[in-house]
């Protein structure tokens, strides 16, 4: 802008200067031409006087040769010329200046001369004798005069030009300065120019609008971030080139990835085959669901294409943590498979035996033995079904059982009485220590727990071993400890023994349903008690059941 203003001012100054120069030259030229004509006329008059007094001798006698003098007779014949031979010259009567002089007494003209190729000024005067004296001078001399006069003018012009240069620069800067000094971010009320006021006003209102919109956007983004960051589901939004547009912390956690760099590909977060299929399919415009299984976690990825005007512009990926769900699902599947298998085993035995009996292939004396088999297997089947029913009741929340105060001592004595025949058979001695201990609980469940613990302690004992039941009570808790001297449980299986149908001894030779400890675990959980296991392989196991304060 400064440059433009500078150029504009300079152009104006320069054109004014040039115009004045041209005008001055024009005026000077006219003035000097008049002066030259004046001089010519006075000189002609002077020469005319000379000729009048002295005749032609005046002309020939050392007349200064700085201008041309022609003497023409009244009939037009050249009488004398100081530059050319008069005899060679043509008739001059028709020359305008001569013609004019003959008629009016004096005349002048300016003519372009072909012979000398320059403009010539003529002045003619009629002498008293009727002849005409003509004096001429070239215009060239006018120009010399003009140029001489112009020299100081040119100097003044150069000075004026320099002044204009300096002033133009200064003015341009001064004009632009208030605009430069203006703070565009906060244009105050003080504006250098009135003409800028609408612009500044517009600027101010737009700035306010922009900051309002920015604030709005920021708030919306914050809301969005707050919502997505607090989601437990992972959220990823990607564009058509698989670049991550938005992600939340849960997505990074579930995919076990670091925060992606700006415009990084989503494949940099995870490149498991299932995840890649999700990305590819969703960007191809199809919905896709995949399960990502890892050693200890399990995620479900839902990928949905985002379409705009019929074209896929990106995709939204939702990552769900389904570890627990999958584990439960696996457990349920295993349980169903186990239950079917466990139920089938005794039934197969019963069916086989019954078939043999039906076909009459058994000697009468062997019938009691076969019937005994059927009886034993049927009993096992009933035990199993009972255990499953108990478990499913616990799963469903204890089937509205009655909570009351239970004396652990009395309960343990009852259990020992029930198990005495089994213990005797195994040659296991059972002892009970500790006084009456009251806990809050459901009697059936407490009894079930104690029964199963003691039953196991006997079943997995060695002949001649012992089972020690200890009741202890502190203000904080009540505890039952069932310690045996049996075969023990390997350290790595301590968690698994509480699983349904899990047996340390895979051969099933120990009898039982495989559900005992599972019932104990679920029962304890139902009562809010805590079950702990301590065991040494070959030396025996100790189960500790701790009740919360009554």
Partner 1 sequence: MRNKFDEQLKRLHVELIQMGAACEDAISAAAEALLKGDESLVPAALEAERDLDRREREVENLCLKLLLQQQPVARDLREISAALKMISDLERIGDQAADIAELVSYVRVPDGSGVLHIADMTRAVIGMVTASVDSFVKRDLELARAVCAADDQVDALFDQVKRELIDMIASDAAWGQQGLDLLMVAKYLERIGDHATNVAEWVEYSITGVHPSNN
| Nearest to partner 1 of 273, 421 (CB atom) | 273
Q: With contact defined as beta carbons under 8 Å apart, do 534 and 544 qualify?
A: yes
Secondary structure of residue 135 in the 3-state scheme:
strand
Round to whole Å and give the CA distance between 27 and 153.
13
Q: Compare residues 221 and 240 and give the one whose CB is closer to partner 1.
A: 240
Residue 265 or 472 with smaller CB distance to partner 1: 265
Tokens of 541: 């196991």
Contact 255, 319 (CB under 8 A): yes
Residue 504 CB, nearest approach to partner 1 (Å): 22
Sign, CA torsion 513/515/516/519: negative
Nearer of residues 219 and 271 to partner 1, judged by Cβ: 271
Which residue lies nearer to partner 1 by CB, 279 or 445? 279
Residue whose CB is less far from partner 1, 84 or 263? 263
Closer CB to partner 1, 82 or 265, in the complex: 265
Q: How far is the CB of 268 from partner 1 (least distance, A)?
A: 5
Which residue in this structure is represented by tokens 């790595």? 492
Contact footprint for partner 1 (CB under 8 A): 241-243, 258, 263, 265, 267-268, 271-273, 276
Closest approach, Cβ 291 to partner 1, in A, equals 17
Residue 275 CB, nearest distance to partner 1 (Å)?
A: 9
CB of 245 to partner 1, least distance (A): 14
Sign of the Cα pseudo-torsion (484, 490, 496, 500, in order): negative
Q: How many whole angstroms separate alpha carbon 441 and alpha carbon 193?
A: 91
Angle value at C-alpha 54, between 51 and 58, nearest 5 degrees: 65
Q: 3-class SS at 259?
A: coil
Nearer to partner 1 among residue 256 and residue 536 (C-beta) = 256
Nearer of residues 265 and 429 to partner 1, judged by Cβ: 265
Q: What's the first-to-final CA gap in the chain, in angstroms?
A: 92
Pick 75 or 241: Cβ nearer partner 1: 241
Which tokens in the block code for residue 219? 């708030």
Give the closest residue to 472 by CA, choosing from 482, 464, 463, 462: 482
* 256 vs 424 by CB, closer to partner 1: 256
What secondary structure does DSSP assign to 290-331, as a single string? EEEE-SS-EEEEEEEEEEETTEEEEEEEEEEE-HHHHHHHHH
At its nearest, how many Å lie between partner 1 and the CB of residue 267? Answer: 4
Kindly tell me which of 101 and 292 has the beta carbon lying closer to partner 1: 292
CB of 337 to partner 1, least distance (A): 21
Cα-trace Rg, the chain: 65
Nearest approach in angstroms of CB 271 to partner 1 is: 4
Distance CA(55)–CA(78), nearest Å, equals 15
Residue tagged 């089994």 (tokens): 422
CB of 248 to partner 1, least distance (A): 20
Q: Burial letters for 321-342: b for 16+ Cβ neighbours within 10 Å, e otherwise? A: bbbeebeeeeeeeebeebbeeb
Alpha helices (runs of H) in 427-501, residue ranges in sequence order: 443-459
| CB 266 to partner 1: min, Å | 9
192 vs 7, 186, 196, 198, 506, CA distance in Å? Answer: 22, 14, 8, 13, 98
Shortest spacing between CB 306 and partner 1, in angstroms: 19
Angstrom CA distances, 356 to 343, 345, 353, 364, 381, stand at: 21, 17, 5, 12, 20
Output the smallest distance, CB 313 to partner 1, in A: 16
Q: Which is nearest to 272 in space by CA: 328, 315, 317?
A: 317
8 A C-beta contact, residue 182 and residue 192: yes
CA–CA separation, 40 vs 30, rounded Å?
A: 15
């Amino acid at each position: 802008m400064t440059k433009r203003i500078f150029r504009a001012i300079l152009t104006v100054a320069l054109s004014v200067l040039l115009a004045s120069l041209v005008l001055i030259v024009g005026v000077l030229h006219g003035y000097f031409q008049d002066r030259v004509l004046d001089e010519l006329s006075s000189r002609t008059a002077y020469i005319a006087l000379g000729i009048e007094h002295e005749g032609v001798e005046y002309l020939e006698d050392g007349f200064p040769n700085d201008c041309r003098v022609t003497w023409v007779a009244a009939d037009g014949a050249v009488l004398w010329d100081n530059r050319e031979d008069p005899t060679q010259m043509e008739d001059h009567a028709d020359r305008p200046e001569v013609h004019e002089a003959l008629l009016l007494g004096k005349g002048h003209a300016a003519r372009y001369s072909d012979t000398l190729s320059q403009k010539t000024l003529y002045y003619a005067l009629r002498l008293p004798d009727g002849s005409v004296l003509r004096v001429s001078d070239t215009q060239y001399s006018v120009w010399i005069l003009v140029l001489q006069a112009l020299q100081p003018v040119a100097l003044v012009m150069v000075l004026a030009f320099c002044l204009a240069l300096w002033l133009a620069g200064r003015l341009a800067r001064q004009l632009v300065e208030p605009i430069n000094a203006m703070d565009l971010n906060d244009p105050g009320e003080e504006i250098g120019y009135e003409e800028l006021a609408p612009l500044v006003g517009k600027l101010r209102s737009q700035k306010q609008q922009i900051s309002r919109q920015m604030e709005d956007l920021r708030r919306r983004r914050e809301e969005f971030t707050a919502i997505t960051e607090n989601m437990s589901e992972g959220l990823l939004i990607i564009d058509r080139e698989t670049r991550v547009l938005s992600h939340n912390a849960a997505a990074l956690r579930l995919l076990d990835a670091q925060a992606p760099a700006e415009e990084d590909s989503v494949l940099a977060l995870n490149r498991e085959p299932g995840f890649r299929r999700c990305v590819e399919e969703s960007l191809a415009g199809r919905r896709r669901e995949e399960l990502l299984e890892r050693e200890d976690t399990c995620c479900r990825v839902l990928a949905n294409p985002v379409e705009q005007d019929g074209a896929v512009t990106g995709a939204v990926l939702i990552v769900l943590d389904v570890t627990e769900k999958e584990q439960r699902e696996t457990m349920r599947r295993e349980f169903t498979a186990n239950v079917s298998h466990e139920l089938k085993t005794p039934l197969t035995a019963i069916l086989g035996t019954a078939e043999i009996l039906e076909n009459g292939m058994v000697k009468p004396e062997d019938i009691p033995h076969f019937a005994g088999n059927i009886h034993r297997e049927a009993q096992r089947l009933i035990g199993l079904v009972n255990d499953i029913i108990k478990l499913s009741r616990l799963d469903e929340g204890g089937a509205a059982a009655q909570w009351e105060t239970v004396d652990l001592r009395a309960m343990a004595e009852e259990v020992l009485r029930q198990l005495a025949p089994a213990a005797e058979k195994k040659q296991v001695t059972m002892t009970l220590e500790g006084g009456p201990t009251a806990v809050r609980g459901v009697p059936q469940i407490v009894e079930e727990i104690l029964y199963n613990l003691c039953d196991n302690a006997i079943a997995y004992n060695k002949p001649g071993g012992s089972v020690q039941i200890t009741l202890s009570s502190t203000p904080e808790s009540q505890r039952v400890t069932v310690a045996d001297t049996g075969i023990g449980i390997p350290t790595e299986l301590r968690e698994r023994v509480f699983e349904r149908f899990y047996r340390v001894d895979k051969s099933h030779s120990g009898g039982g349903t495989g559900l005992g400890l599972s019932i104990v675990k679920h029962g304890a959980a139902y009562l809010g008690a805590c079950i702990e296991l301590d065991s040494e392989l070959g030396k025996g196991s100790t189960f500790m059941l701790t009740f919360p304060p009554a």
